[in-house]
Amino acid sequence: MTDFEHYYQRIRRQQKRDTLLWSLLLVALYLAAGKIAEFNLVTVWQSLPHFFDYIGETMPVLHLPVLFADVKTEGSFAYWGYRLNIQLPLIWETLQLAISSTVIGVAIAAGLAFFAADNTQSPAGVRLAIRAFVAFLRTMPELAWAVMFVMAFGIGAIPGFLALALHTVGSLTKLFYESIESASDKPVRGLAACGASKLQRMRFAFWPQVKPTFLSYSFMRLEINFRSSTILGLVGAGGIGQELMTNIKLDRYDQVSITLLLIIVVVSLLDTISGWLRRRVVEGERA
């Protein structure tokens, strides 16, 4: 056996040993966490039939002969969607909430990111202050922010907007400044040699490199904010979430299903549109 084969076998044994040790450690941590949280797979297994029973109850009862009858005919689409006049405006409100909080959050995060990145020559104190601030913002979940703002401003869209905007700033600033730090420094050095200021270097050296990444993260955050805004509605922060919670509390199972269907449709549309816009921007940059 050659020296290379000896070396290869030794590395393989070490990798297998490390894999086994890490696997055992993860299993031990999982079991310990489950013990502390009182997680029981037997209970989960026994409760599964109840879960599927609930899902079955949310399915609408539709009858083929009267599918397209009026709203008073049980078993028709119109009867199933008799609350659409309430739900569609709430979906629109939720979408507006997500878009407005994302736009504001992206604008603030983009500005902060350039001063938080290590390679933009910002003062060290400014970088540390911004990073500590955005770390605090993203450490608090949107739901916690929403509960505090509901207590301060009352039930409505304002608590949801503020909660989503703050968490967006915290999350995107970190993603943005890491993208800036990954950018090539060759254009920066070239502009610096020509006497460009710091702002000019940010605008003409960093921004063209990170713009596609910024847009990609922004579209992703828009989808996240829409999904989060439906959850925030459960605590009174506005949007379709309040309608969903009302239907659950009143056992209006058919309305739970149509509300969830509306949310799924809008999320799918957002994903399709954001993907198309992202491709257009990236291809436009390459052209």
Q: Using CB atoms within 10 A of its CB, is residue 213 exposed (0-12), middle (13-18) or buried (19+)?
A: middle
| CATH number of the CATH domain containing 243 | 1.10.3720.10
Q: Is 210 contained in some domain?
A: yes
Q: Is 155 contained in some domain?
A: yes
32/102 same-domain check: no
pLDDT at position 172, please? 96
Whole-prediction pTM: 0.78
Q: Is 13 contained in some domain?
A: yes
Residue, of 85 and 184, whose pLDDT is higher: 85
Which residues, in sequence order, are CB contacts of 169 under 8 Å at separation 6+?
A: 105, 108, 109, 112, 134, 137
32/173 same-domain check: no
Please state, in angstroms and rounded to a whole number, the distance separating the CA atoms of residues 287 and 278: 14
pLDDT in tens, 7-59: 778 888 888 898 999 999 999 998 888 888 877 778 888 888 888 888 888 88
* Phi-psi map region of 104: left, alpha, beta (phi>0 left; psi -120 to 50 alpha): alpha
pLDDT at position 284, please? 62
Q: Is 73 contained in some domain?
A: no
Q: Using CB atoms within 10 A of its CB, is residue 281 exposed (0-12), middle (13-18) or buried (19+)?
A: middle
Residue, of 117 and 197, whose pLDDT is higher: 117
Helix (H) or strand (E) holding 112: helix 84-116
119/261 same-domain check: yes
Q: Is 74 contained in some domain?
A: no
Q: Is 216 contained in some domain?
A: yes
124/240 same-domain check: yes
28/118 same-domain check: no
pLDDT in tens, 120-173: 888 899 999 999 999 999 998 888 898 898 888 888 888 889 999 999 999 999
pLDDT tier for residue 267 given thresholds of 50, 70 and 90? confident
Structure tokens at 19: 């894999």
Give the total number of structural domains in the chain.
2
| pLDDT at position 78 over 90 | no
Segment 83-90 shows an average pLDDT of: 89
pLDDT tier for residue 195 given thresholds of 50, 70 and 90? confident
Percent of the chain surpassing pLDDT 70: 97
Query: 10: domain range?
Result: 3-48
Q: Is 172 contained in some domain?
A: yes
Which residues, in sequence order, are CB contacts of 232 under 8 Å at separation 6+?
A: 142, 143, 146, 159, 160, 163, 164, 238, 239, 241
pLDDT at position 287, please? 46
135/231 same-domain check: yes
Place of tokens 């970088």: 127
Least confidently predicted of 45-59, 78-92, 269-283: 269-283
pLDDT at position 188, please? 76
107/198 same-domain check: yes
pLDDT tier for residue 283 given thresholds of 50, 70 and 90? low
Of 55-69, 97-111, 267-281, which has the strongest mean pLDDT? Answer: 97-111
Q: Is 75 contained in some domain?
A: no
173/119 same-domain check: yes
Alpha-carbon 284 to chain mean position: 26
Inter-helix orientation angle 84-116/124-139, to 10°: 160
